Every structure is written in structure tokens, then in C-alpha cells.
């Protein structure tokens, strides 16, 4: 195989500090087998990872989980990120962000907080997360504003909340959000388990986009709304993680370094651990990061496709999950002979009542769904 092109530095270092989380979201992007992976890097290891990431050239640092506020050393980690000159982002459910903790994180230099809501209604928010957190999140939104952080809200969209789109945007506006990310569900991990419940119809999506565009026209720059389009409905593959090993370097709680947060499930690929390898070596030289860089690895129909530089073959994890081959074209693409799998899933979700109940993300379900666990 032709060698993968030498990449530039990663723009983002994504530190998944823990898989522990008080919520039980049905679309959680953490691995379904998270309960098998309890090990977490200690504080010193995270500080070293931050230093190595910055030396490599990363400028953005995402602190996520699970719920990163469950780490008692979060302030120490944030302070080091700030000292190193990263722009730091905390991605949180809000659980654990008291006024005191927010002040400590601000003093440590945290630049940005992204708060997730599951819905604009208490009933659906609390149902989808299997926790009573709607009122808490509303209080946390005020705490974020009081600290002077930009107000950034994130809502994952799917069939169970997309009908509330008008209310979701109005809620974000009323809370004084500067940015609202409406992220259509990506079907990996827990969302794939629950796909029959979560896939919206074409009509629901069209309506949601119309409502979003009407609000955009009304609010202009006062609140920027990002509508992350769903690849299942578009017939086009997305340039996942902006290209494998090109922008994001994710470090899982146990120290495994990954080009995307679900890549560990791909068979036949080894991903190095930061306990044993430096980030520079991992980024430039590891087999796992090089395997799907560029276009040389592609099979047909991607190899001769005029779009191959634009979408870079789509998502490797989705190709594996839906077509059984991580090197195959992404079935979201209409040019792929396997595209009927995606169309069938959308059609069935619209026509049939799901055969199994929703599966909430928790340790018992993780063990139940993990083969051999
Ligand atoms: Fe892994 Fe798209 S989520 S490559």
C-alpha cells in the first residue's frame, strides 16, 4: 500500500477524562463496553499528555467524558492547559458544576463550557437521561453566564425530541446562548443500540431545518445555530472527524490514543497507550493513526470517486458497523452498493414500532451487551 501522507499537527487534543457519568443517555457516544474499562489515567499522566500535545502543536483542548466534573483533579488539569496556552473547553452535563466549582475552574483559566440538554421539556430531558436534571441544567446555564463564559448549548436531536425544535431554540435564546449546536444523532455506540427508536423521518428533519433557518434569519449573529446534518438521510458520507488522524487526537480514560472516540472497536487495528508511548510517536508513526490517513487505503467505489478528497471515504466506524469492513465505503453514501442498509433503517424506523425497549446507558446494560462479559 502507498504510504499515508505525513500529517500536520493535531488541532485538537480531546481528553476523555472518565467514562463515569451520572446520566444514562440513550444516545451516549461512549463505548457500549465502557463498564469493562474502569482504568483511568492519574493526574500526572494527564498533565504530561497535555504538555506533549501542546509540544506537538495542538491548540484546542477538549475535556470530556463521561462527566469530567467527576474528576476531582479537573481544576489542576485545567490550570495546566491554561498555563500551556491551550484554548480549553469543558463538555459537561452540568451535574457537579456548583457556583464554587465554576469559580475555581474560571480561576484556573477555563475558557469555555459547553452544556448539554436532552430536550426543552423537563419530562423528555429527564426521561432520556434517566435522571432529574432539567432544573439543575437550567441553574447551571445561569452559573455559566455569571462567570462570563460564552454560553454554548448542545442538544442531540433524534425522533423523540426533534418535534420540539421550536421550543429547543426558544429555550436556548431565552437562556442567552451565543451558540446552539443541534447535533443530529450519529449512530454508533448506544445510539446504534437504540437506532430504531431514535431515527427521525425525512419529514421531521426537513421541518427541523426549516424552523432552524427561520430562527437563524430572525436572530442573525445574536445566536449562532449549528445544525449538524444527519448522514443517514443525505445520501452523502460525512468527512468524519475531518479526516482520520488529521485534526483530532483523542485520549480515552485509560490512556488509549484514538483518531476518533469509537475507533477502538475496529478489528485488526492497534492503538497505542500514552502510558507507554509519547504523543508525537503516536500521532506520526503508529499504525492505528496511519491506517486510514489520506486516500491510498481506499477501495472502490471510493478509490475512483471524484468526491474522495472531500469526504475521505466517510466514517470508518460506520463502515465497520454497517458493512462489516472498516476499509469499505461508508454505507451512508448513495454510491455505495451497501447504501440500502441505511435506507432500510430509515424506512423501518418510520414504519415499525421498535421490537425492543430503549436501552439506557448504565453498567448493567453495558455488561449485558458486551459479548463474553
Ligand atoms: Fe470513527 Fe467516524 S466515528 S471514523
Cα-to-centroid distance, 108 and ligand 1 (Å): 32
pLDDT at 354: 86
Asked if pLDDT for residue 13 goes beyond 70, the answer is yes
CA atoms within 13 A on the CB side of 217: 6
CB of 192 closer than 6 angstroms to any ligand 1 atom = no
183 beta partners: 156, 228
Asked if pLDDT for residue 201 goes beyond 80, the answer is yes
Asked if pLDDT for residue 349 goes beyond 90, the answer is no
CB of 316 closer than 6 angstroms to any ligand 1 atom = yes
ipTM: 0.90
Distance (Å, whole) CA 29 – CA 45: 24
Q: Which ligand 1 atom is nearest residue 266's CA?
A: 1
pLDDT at 234: 86
- Mean pLDDT, residues 260-283: 96
Cα-to-centroid distance, 150 and ligand 1 (Å): 28
Cα-to-centroid distance, 249 and ligand 1 (Å): 12
The better pLDDT of the pair 153, 353 is held by 153
Pocket of ligand 1, candidates 263, 264, 291: which has the most ligand atoms within 8 Å of its Cβ, to mutate? 263
pLDDT at 228: 86
Please state the residue numbers annotated as binding site.
21, 25, 28
Cα-to-centroid distance, 314 and ligand 1 (Å): 8
CB of 315 closer than 6 angstroms to any ligand 1 atom = yes
pLDDT at 352: 82
Q: What are phi and psi of 154, to 5 degrees?
A: -130, 130
pLDDT at 107: 98
Asked if pLDDT for residue 373 goes beyond 50, the answer is no
- Mean pLDDT, residues 250-279: 96
pLDDT digits 0-9 by tens, 76-133: 999 999 999 999 999 999 999 999 999 999 999 999 999 999 999 999 989 988 999 9
Residue owning the nearest CA to atom 3 of ligand 1: 317
Using 50, 70 and 90 to split pLDDT, how confident is the model at 2?
Answer: low
* Mean pLDDT, the chain, integer: 94
CB of 317 closer than 6 angstroms to any ligand 1 atom = yes
- Mean pLDDT, residues 153-164: 96
CB of 238 closer than 6 angstroms to any ligand 1 atom = no
Distance (Å, whole) CA 126 – CA 130: 6
Pocket of ligand 1, candidates 29, 185, 240: which has the most ligand atoms within 8 Å of its Cβ, to mutate? 240
Pocket of ligand 1, candidates 317, 325, 333: which has the most ligand atoms within 8 Å of its Cβ, to mutate? 317
CB of 263 closer than 6 angstroms to any ligand 1 atom = yes
Cα-to-centroid distance, 259 and ligand 1 (Å): 8
- Mean pLDDT, residues 134-145: 95
Distance (Å, whole) CA 36 – CA 366: 8
Distance (Å, whole) CA 365 – CA 186: 20
Cα-to-centroid distance, 49 and ligand 1 (Å): 22
Distance (Å, whole) CA 207 – CA 236: 20
pLDDT digits 0-9 by tens, 202-252: 999 999 999 999 999 999 999 999 998 888 998 889 999 999 999 999 999
Which residues 6+ apart lie within 8 Å of 47 measured at CB?
76, 77, 80
Amino acid at each position: 500500500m502507498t504510504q499515508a501522507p505525513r500529517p500536520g499537527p493535531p488541532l485538537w487534543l480531546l481528553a476523555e477524562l472518565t467514562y463515569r457519568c451520572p446520566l444514562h443517555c440513550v444516545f451516549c457516544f461512549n463505548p457500549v463496553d465502557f463498564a469493562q474499562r474502569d482504568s483511568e489515567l492519574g493526574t500526572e499522566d494527564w498533565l504530561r499528555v497535555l504538555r506533549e500535545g501542546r509540544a506537538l502543536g495542538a491548540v484546542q483542548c477538549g475535556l470530556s467524558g463521561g462527566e469530567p466534573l467527576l474528576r476531582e483533579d479537573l481544576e489542576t488539569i485545567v490550570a495546566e492547559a491554561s498555563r500551556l496556552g491551550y484554548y480549553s473547553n469543558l463538555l459537561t452535563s452540568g451535574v457537579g458544576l456548583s457556583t464554587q466549582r465554576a469559580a475555581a475552574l474560571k480561576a484556573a483559566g477555563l475558557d469555555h463550557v459547553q452544556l448539554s440538554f436532552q430536550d426543552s421539556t423537563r419530562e423528555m430531558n429527564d426521561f432520556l437521561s434517566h435522571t432529574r436534571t432539567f432544573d439543575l441544567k437550567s441553574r447551571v446555564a445561569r452559573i455559566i453566564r455569571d462567570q462570563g463564559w460564552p454560553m454554548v448549548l448542545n442538544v442531540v436531536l433524534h425522533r423523540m425530541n426533534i418535534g420540539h425544535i421550536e421550543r429547543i431554540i426558544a429555550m436556548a435564546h431565552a437562556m442567552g446562548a451565543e451558540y446552539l449546536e443541534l447535533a443530529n444523532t450519529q449512530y454508533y455506540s448506544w445510539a446504534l443500540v437504540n437506532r430504531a427508536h431514535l431515527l427521525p423521518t425525512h419529514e421531521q428533519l426537513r421541518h427541523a431545518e426549516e424552523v432552524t433557518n427561520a430562527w437563524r434569519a430572525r436572530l442573525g449573529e445574536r445566536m449562532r445555530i449549528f445544525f449538524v446534518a444527519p448522514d443517514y438521510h443525505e445520501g452523502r458520507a460525512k468527512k468524519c472527524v475531518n479526516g482520520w488522524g488529521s485534526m483530532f487526537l483523542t485520549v480515552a480514560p485509560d490512556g488509549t490514543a484514538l483518531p476518533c472516540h469509537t475507533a477502538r472497536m475496529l478489528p485488526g487495528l492497534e492503538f497505542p497507550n500514552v502510558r507507554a508511548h509519547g504523543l508525537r510517536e503516536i500521532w506520526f508513526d503508529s499504525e492505528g493513526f496511519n491506517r486510514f490517513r489520506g486516500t491510498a487505503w481506499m477501495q472502490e467505489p471510493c478509490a475512483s470517486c471524484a468526491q474522495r478528497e472531500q469526504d475521505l471515504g466517510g466514517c470508518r466506524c460506520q463502515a465497520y458497523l454497517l458493512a462489516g469492513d472498516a476499509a469499505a465505503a461508508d454505507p451512508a453514501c448513495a454510491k455505495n452498493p451497501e447504501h440500502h442498509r441505511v435506507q432500510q433503517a430509515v424506512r423501518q424506523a418510520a414504519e415499525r414500532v421498535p421490537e425492543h425497549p430503549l436501552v439506557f446507558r448504565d453498567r448493567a446494560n453495558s455488561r449485558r451487551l458486551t459479548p463474553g462479559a
